[in-house]
Structure 1
Amino acid sequence: MAMGFCDDVKAAAEQIAAAPEITIISHIDADGISCEAILSQAISRLEIPVKSVFVRQLEPLTMPQVPDDPSLKIFSDLGAGQQNLMLDRGLTEKDVLIIDHHVSQPCEREYTQVNCLPYGHTRMSAAGVSYLVAKELDNANIDLAQLAVIGNVGDMMAREKCGLVGPAREIIVEDGIRHGSVDVRKKDLNCYGTATRPVHLSLAYNDDPFVKGISNNPEAARQFLKKLGIRQQAPDGRWYVWEELSDDDRRTIISGLAQQLMANGEKTDRLLMESYRFPGEIPRTPLRNAQEYATLLNACGRWSKPQTGGAILRGDRGGAYRDAEHMLNNHRAILRELLQYIVDRGVKELEYLQWLHVGGKYPDTIDGSGAGMALPKRNPGKTILSMCEVPGHHT
């Protein structure tokens, strides 16, 4: 890492260690929820009183949620671009610490900030930065590396390169491996649902890469596996998931998909990815790998229960996990409906972007997710802008 970034991490750790009490203000997505869980646990281990506030956005309407007390305010996964709000609130340099990965806003007051972006670390999320600060506080916080992996993957940091890169890979993932909480499969199939979906559904619901004759066609995917001689069901009728298959079966499927892509003149460069699994979690649950774990956290945040996601990251596998599963099932159903709505209605294309407006039919916490899912089905080379109506506001 760049020396200046290391200095910023060290300065942040010193500011935290010297604080008599702390308030964490974090975002509601998987990255922000992971940030809060990392920081709050690291701070609690120092026996410093800490409380947390989650916000959808840091804006004038949500600033009143930031308590007016003498605690150090840590803004995580937000704040870099909203420093004028802190200035308007009268917060001093000693009152604020920003841990972020977004573009920073110029401000006449120099708040302490740890931001990976100015140092060229464009593929690391705020959870990654939070973890580096936690590790600087105490090397024993290496057990929190798993949470940082979840946050990074949830913020799509692994999507472009089919795996994490830079400090997120070289430091955070490696720490997780050393701790034993993270298991890496370097050349895994690039698909979602490897811990929870029947294999044929994982293949059918995957469109990155799009495999003609298999993607979006569950029955064709099932027949594809059958022709390869892959046993798809256990003796009791339960469908196998990807992670339950033998190495030989996985290689056979990957080879078959590669042949299918090449036969249709398509590239195979997106077929494989580096996957991050958590061997300490229960098999066949969303907690078993970084992608599905992050989706669970996003469901909690999008339905206004980020604290539930935080409880799961702290180890709650009882009531919080059951609530999250319910939200996840609802989240998936609504996203499927939204995706179909976008596909059916289409988007408006301009020279440099494409846009859509879903009206008041879907909440503003998920319209962006739906647009992101629809992008590969529209024009993936052009930025997509999604808009919706917010109760009490006009878009």
Structure 2
Amino acid sequence: MRKGDLEALPSSQLISHARSIAEFILERARSHVFQVVSHLDADGLAAASIMLKTLRRIDAKFHARIVHQLSERVLKSLPKTQRVFVFTDLGSGQLSLINEVLRENVVIIDHHPPENDKESFMQINPHLFGLDGGAEISGAGMAYLVSKEVNDANRDLSTLAVIGALGDRQDKGEGRSLTGLNAEIVREAIELGVLEEVKDLMFFGRETRPIPVALEYTMEPFIPGLSGNHAACVKFLVERVKIPLKSGDRWRTLSELSQQEKSKLVSELVKYMLGPGGMSADEAQSIIGTVYVLTREPLGTPTRDAREFAFLLNACGRTGKTSLGLAICMGDRNVYGEVAKVASEYRAKLADYMEWLGKGKVNVKGDICWFNGERYIDDKMIGTVTSILSSSKSYRDKVIVGFAYSEEEAAVKVSARLGSEVKKEVNLGELMRYVINEMGLNFVAGGHDLAAGAYIPAGREEEFIEHLNAELSSK
């Protein structure tokens, strides 16, 4: 399969490798306990849940551990007796570290660029097959390929793979659609009847929230002056859009709007985004796109829209409520109330952080836009904040770097994103590793070409920026 060939099916080598890992799992299903370790974001939680459901269906014993970063401390804390270690959505960038601590009975199911191409463990990764793990398939997608080889009946888990890809912002196709192997997974889910693909407004809570709340909750794209500001959203809808927000005493949802009302809303919103919002034409157009509907989820629930589902998972993971994220992926719908509360708090935090950054906290140096969240911004949310900032019209030609102190790691978390209009050939994952090496640090670093992360000692943030800017200037 050619890299970037969006029409091609998974290569026979990739499927054969997935089958080998499936056989490895099945051979140990009765004799070992499976320790699944995954990342705390939406893709990581979805990937872990795919493997947990797969293991549950073959009556295997398992435990789950969700982490922010795969460190030596985490690896050493894992139980070792009669264990098979299954790493999802992480591991490929920490091969040497895993080899030092665990050595055997290790399975890595990841989509991040590998540290090297040595086959020390059972590892499946799209980059080893000439595919782009940053755009064509997510960690959850890779877990799904393995799950299907364990049992073809696991195709119903395709929806979790779609959720993971959306959570990892892989919807880079026309109209924010999924492409590559993700598109093939979407096709399988549609054929199975568990997913629908439609064009609609991309607001959060299309079926569940009053229209002003849906607009207020929209974070991708982040609309300055509206996202996170309920009063401003009501005023905008009443004074500019002028459509009925209520039906009797009941608030209307976006799904209830007529086509004429939707057109009016889109027209006024685009005018606002291009004007007072200071956003680009591409960002304004992104409010209409491809919506993925989970058909087996009840109407009017937040888990029916795949992007909304992904947002709920990110909210759970980024606020330390990973067990809730796993529960909702595993099918527990009794936690809706708790998850909704977590999502509301997460959304409020994001709006607060963006407002805080707007108070002169963002610095520009050469090709870099950077900010230091210190202890104000939660280190588990620094990646999300950096991603939102990277979509800003003011910084889309920059490399965006955010810092936040991590109490857990006693170090500073670094998050980097590539603006959509950066002209230079930049691979952030490789660049991050290079800078960490130049600083003489033995810290974990890596990621994709568009998004990467690392840890550095506190107090060396500006040194990091100097090294990064020097390397970018040389390109």
Name the TM tier (shorter chain). 0.7 to 0.9
Q: Would the alpha carbon gap of residues 231 and 159 (structure 1) be closer, same or farther in structure 2, given more than 3 Å must change?
A: farther
Distance across 2 between alignment mates of 1:285 and 1:52: 27
Q: Give the one of 288, 306, 319 matched to 1:303.
A: 319
**What residue is the counterpart of 1:347 in the other structure?**
362
- What CA deviation, in whole Å up to 9, does each residue of 1:170-208 have, x standing for no partner? 2x21222233322210x2224434234433454566586
Give how far 1:2 is off.
2.3
Distance across 2 between alignment mates of 1:384 and 1:212: 18
Give how far 1:258 is off.
6.3
**What residue is the counterpart of 2:377 in the other structure?**
362
The TM-score normalised by the length of structure 2 is 0.74
Q: Give the one of 24, 29, 53 matched to 2:41.
A: 29
Give the letter aligned to residue 178 of structure 1: E
Give how far 1:297 is off.
1.0
**What residue is the counterpart of 2:59 in the other structure?**
47
Give how far 1:69 is off.
1.9
Q: Would the alpha carbon gap of residues 3 and 304 (structure 1) be closer, same or farther in structure 2, given more than 3 Å must change?
A: same
| Structural RMSD (CA) | 2.8
Give the letter aligned to residue 14 of structure 2: F
Helix, strand or coil for the counterpart of 1:385?
strand
**What residue is the counterpart of 1:154 in the other structure?**
167
**What residue is the counterpart of 1:321 in the other structure?**
336
Moved more, 159-168 or 333-342: 159-168
Does the Cα contact within 8 Å between 1:150 and 1:293 map onto a contact in 2? yes
Does the Cα contact within 8 Å between 1:200 and 1:222 map onto a contact in 2? no
Q: Give the one of 61, 65, 88 matched to 2:73.
A: 61
Moved more, 161-170 or 187-196: 187-196
Give how far 1:9 is off.
1.6
Helix, strand or coil for the counterpart of 1:336?
helix
Distance across 1 between alignment mates of 2:47 and 2:237: 38
Does the Cα contact within 8 Å between 2:361 and 2:372 map onto a contact in 1? no
Give the letter aligned to residue 385 of structure 1: V
**What residue is the counterpart of 2:24 in the other structure?**
15
Helix, strand or coil for the counterpart of 2:109?
strand
Distance across 1 between alignment mates of 2:224 and 2:398: 22
Give the letter aligned to residue 18 of structure 1: E
Distance across 1 between alignment mates of 2:271 and 2:349: 35
Which structure is richer in relative contact order (CA contacts within 8 A, separation 6 or more)?
Answer: 1
Q: Give the one of 133, 152, 159 matched to 2:146.
A: 133
Distance across 2 between alignment mates of 1:35 and 1:110: 22
Give the letter aligned to residue 275 of structure 1: V
Q: Give the one of 91, 94, 110 matched to 1:100.
A: 110
Helix, strand or coil for the counterpart of 1:231?
coil
Moved more, 261-270 or 3-12: 261-270
- What CA deviation, in whole Å up to 9, does each residue of 1:156-178 have, x standing for no partner? 111565111111112x2122223
**What residue is the counterpart of 1:168 in the other structure?**
182
Paired-residue identity, %: 29
Q: Would the alpha carbon gap of residues 74 and 90 (structure 1) be closer, same or farther in structure 2, given more than 3 Å must change?
A: closer
Helix, strand or coil for the counterpart of 1:184?
strand
Give how far 1:87 is off.
1.1
**What residue is the counterpart of 1:184 in the other structure?**
197
Distance across 2 between alignment mates of 1:149 and 1:31: 9
**What residue is the counterpart of 1:390 in the other structure?**
406
Distance across 2 between alignment mates of 1:270 and 1:329: 23
Q: Does 1:143 align with 2:149?
A: no
Helix, strand or coil for the counterpart of 2:400?
strand
**What residue is the counterpart of 2:13 in the other structure?**
4
Distance across 2 between alignment mates of 1:256 and 1:338: 27
Give how far 1:389 is off.
1.8
Q: Would the alpha carbon gap of residues 356 and 131 (structure 1) be closer, same or farther in structure 2, given more than 3 Å must change?
A: same
Q: Would the alpha carbon gap of residues 335 and 259 (structure 1) be closer, same or farther in structure 2, given more than 3 Å must change?
A: closer
| Residue ranges of structure 1 left out of the alignment (5+ in a row) | none
Give the letter aligned to residue 105 of structure 1: E
Helix, strand or coil for the counterpart of 1:133?
helix
Q: Would the alpha carbon gap of residues 389 and 343 (structure 1) be closer, same or farther in structure 2, given more than 3 Å must change?
A: same
